[in-house]
Structure 1
Amino acid sequence: MDFRRIIAFGKSSHVVSLPKHWLNENNLKKGDLVYLEQDFDKLIVMPKEKNEDKEERKAVINVDNKDIKLIKREISSAFINYNDYIVLKGKTLPKYAKDIVKVIHNLIALEIMEQSAEKIVARDFLKVEDIKIVDYFKKEDIITRSMFVDLKDPEFNNYDDLIERQNSVKRVYLLLLKVFKAISKNTVLIKKTDLNLDIIFKYYRYNFALQKIAHSLRIIAENLKKVKNKSAKEKISGIITEQNKYYLAVMKALHTSNKQSAYELSNSRDELINNVNNLNIQMNSEISTIQERLVWIYFELHGIIHSIYD
């Protein structure tokens, strides 16, 4: 943390010097304008938004000697890091082309501009300033709620559809991760989100939590698909029903910023986890995994609760 002394300037003004490294990082010089924004007891200084054309960024990914999992991760990383173009090439490209195209289509605002046996070029059309963080988080929430609703029904068996919904949560998760990354590199964007920095940090945490919850629900679905014992399914559905009520209460406390409700929900967590651990079902690998993931979900929800009253 840097410290600066306030200097009197004339009869009614005061001056605070700015760190030279910050000026250099934001290409600011004498005479340039900066934004000043008051946030309670803080004063945020942001570089003036520049209208000049920015140099286009390109990520080049060579697919040779890599498996598809690594290629997918590299595409996601290039997307999150706000590259204007993502270029994939290599002798083994035809082998992975179908999977690569599917990955690109699953990333919001990323479109294939060129495709051949030697190269795939995708362009990013996203404008970060147009993304409403809260709206997209609510979309994640709605999809996650639908996953809970289906899993608490002991007769539900359309697990493949539920697994696909988790992919929809992941799409939004990556989009928001990209927005948060852009904001961290260009503080001018903070002003365009209509949120203060503290709230943005909280939604950064919420975004991770919902992705992990949806992923856990997917794993629960994949394992429930293998459970044939009707009684076991009914008991698990009962626990998921209980967890769904808790999830809805946490989301309500979050959206209404209800600290008192958050405190009460925090106090009930351990009892709910005990209900999961004391589930009276004959154990096997599938049941054990389901129990583990149900507990993980409670811990993720508890993290959200903490951020409500912190």
Structure 2
Amino acid sequence: MKNFADLTEREILAVAISAEEEDSRIYMTFAEDLAERYPESAKIFEEMAEEEKGHRHMLLEMYEKRFGENLPPIRRENVKGFLRRRPVWLTKNLSLDTIRKEAETMEFEAERFYAKAAEQTQDVGVRRLLGDLAEAEKSHENVAARLTDLILSPDVREQEDKTRRRMFVLQYVQPGLAGLMDGSVSTLAPLFAAAFATHNNWQTFLVGLAASIGAGISMGFAEALSDDGSLTGRGSPWLRGLTCGLMTTLGGLGHTLPYLVPDSWANAFWIATAVAGIVVFFELWAIAYIRARYMDTPFMQAAFQIVLGGAIVLAVGILIGGA
């Protein structure tokens, strides 16, 4: 790799030309990714891509005027000092904030490059062009940083907020809620069956722990393998699977942990069972609240469905354990 200070004017222009071409393609990729979800923001990135093409054209004209048509094969990654980028543009369904932050970083880097390059060049025309491009990239940086507040109208921002909320629900709330429901409800029967069959807190805790972890693994893989997110826009399958699996495990552990009450205590079994019952009550009402808050389900309807279902499963476990 070459040090930036060792670049010739010819190499500086060549790096700038290839950088503008790459940035233009990245912005068009962002625009394509945002087109369906955030059409107004997509248009802004299309305009930024066209401006980058214009910058490349100006640089190429200057280069051909000074050095001819042949460009040396040097790019940003061949020069020390450039930021090491994560190729986030290869990922589909990126959040709007992630794309904006990436664009801001890109423009900051470009502005710094042109400012330093202008100081290093001797030709007056090249220096003027690089200085003008530094100012242009700085304005792009400001647009990327304040895109929401300066460019988007309140109506457009409201629509994009609705879309962002919908994506958040699809990618995080929905798999997390499914896991929490499964972990909180499905583990009730084996846990309380073991409790009333053995009246032994430690053995009941082991059954609940195994049921919770097993359910978490099962639900996590089921969610991750259900779809890859390419058509549904639900995001990374493994992130959804991890969210679902963790919430399933936590849902089961909530009413399992009370059975850590030592069996040596007086009335240890009934203490643990009473605490577990209280935990179950709050778990079911929390699920009902989340469904009402994010899934547009009337709260009383959600509460009735969840509490009734949980009560039935709990009763089944107690009846089987006590038989």
- What interval of TM-score do these two structures reach, taking the shorter chain for normalisation? 0.3 to 0.5
Relative to the length of structure 2, the TM-score reads 0.31
Q: Give the number of the structure whose alpha-carbon radius of gyration is greater.
A: 2
Relative to the length of structure 1, the TM-score reads 0.32
Greater strand percent: which structure? 1
Greater helix percent: which structure? 2
